Amino acid sequence: MNLKQELQTLNDKLDKFRRKLAAAEQRGDTAVMMQFKKEIAAVTKRINNVKNQQTRQLSKEGGQLKSLAFKRELTKAEQADMGKLKKSVKGLVVVHPLTALGREMGIKAVTGFAPAKF
């Protein structure tokens, strides 16, 4: 299971536990309330761990891309024919600013990273 799926599953569990906690509070069942409070705390902790793991993974990937020898913003024409560009440039990685990786790297325009000039 990748991190994105795991995070989604954990968020679903957290939502379910919160709903069950609310129902237990309406009934006044203290034993069940304590159990769900513990469950919520455990799931919240795990969610934070997964988010930190995602951040580390993105930082590592961004660092690897920044270490490539050449980078530049792509023109609109190059963006329109991305298949042709990727075939002509070996090892090209394109990063969009609205993706998680693009936000992590702080880029402002669609940028291509490659080991050689293109």
Global pTM value: 0.73
Task: Show the tokens assigned to 14.
Answer: 């957290």
Task: Show the tokens assigned to 66.
Answer: 């920044």
Superfamily of domain 68-118: Uncharacterised protein PF10928, DUF2810 (3.30.1370.150)
Task: Say what the pLDDT of residue 118 is.
Answer: 82
Long-range CB contacts (within 8 A, 24+) of 9-17: 10/43, 10/46, 10/47, 10/50, 11/47, 13/43, 14/40, 14/43, 14/44, 14/47, 17/43
Q: What is the mean pLDDT of each run of 10 residues along the chain (118 residues)?
A: 91 96 93 95 97 93 88 92 90 92 91 90
Those residues whose C-beta lies under 8 Å from the C-beta of residue 23, and which sit 6 or more positions away, are none
Q: Which amino acid belongs to residue 62?
A: G
pLDDT tens track for 56-75 = 999 999 989 888 888 899 99
Task: Say what the pLDDT of residue 7 is.
Answer: 95
Count other C-beta atoms under 10 Å from residue 28's C-beta: 8
Phi, psi of 72 (to 5 degrees): -165, 160
Task: Show the tokens assigned to 103.
Answer: 């936000």
Query: Domain residues of the chain, as ranges?
Result: 1-63, 68-118
For the chain, the residue count is 118
Q: Which of 109, 115, 2 is nearest to 65 (CA)?
A: 115
